[in-house]
Amino acid sequence: MSITRSAWRTGAGLLLASALLAGCNTPKPLYQWESYQPQVREYFNDQSKEEQVIALERDLEKIKAKNGAVPPGYHAQLGLLYSSLGKDDQMIQEFRTEKALFPESATYMDFLMKNATQGAKP
- Domain ranges across the chain: 36-117
Contact 49, 81 (CB under 8 A): yes
> Residues with Cβ < 8 Å from 33, sequence gap 6 or more?
71
More confident residue, 42 or 98: 98
Tens digits of residue pLDDT in 54-67: 999 999 999 999 99
Contact 39, 56 (CB under 8 A): yes
Mean pLDDT in residue range 108-112: 95
Can you name the CATH fold of 36-117? 1.25.40
pTM of the model: 0.67
Residue 101's Cβ-side half-sphere holds a number of Cα atoms within 13 Å equal to 16
Residue 41 clears pLDDT 60, i.e. is over it: yes
> Residues with Cβ < 8 Å from 106, sequence gap 6 or more?
99
Residue 98 clears pLDDT 90, i.e. is over it: yes
Mean pLDDT in residue range 34-49: 76
How many other CB atoms are found less than 10 A from the CB of residue 21?
Answer: 9
Residue 1 clears pLDDT 80, i.e. is over it: no
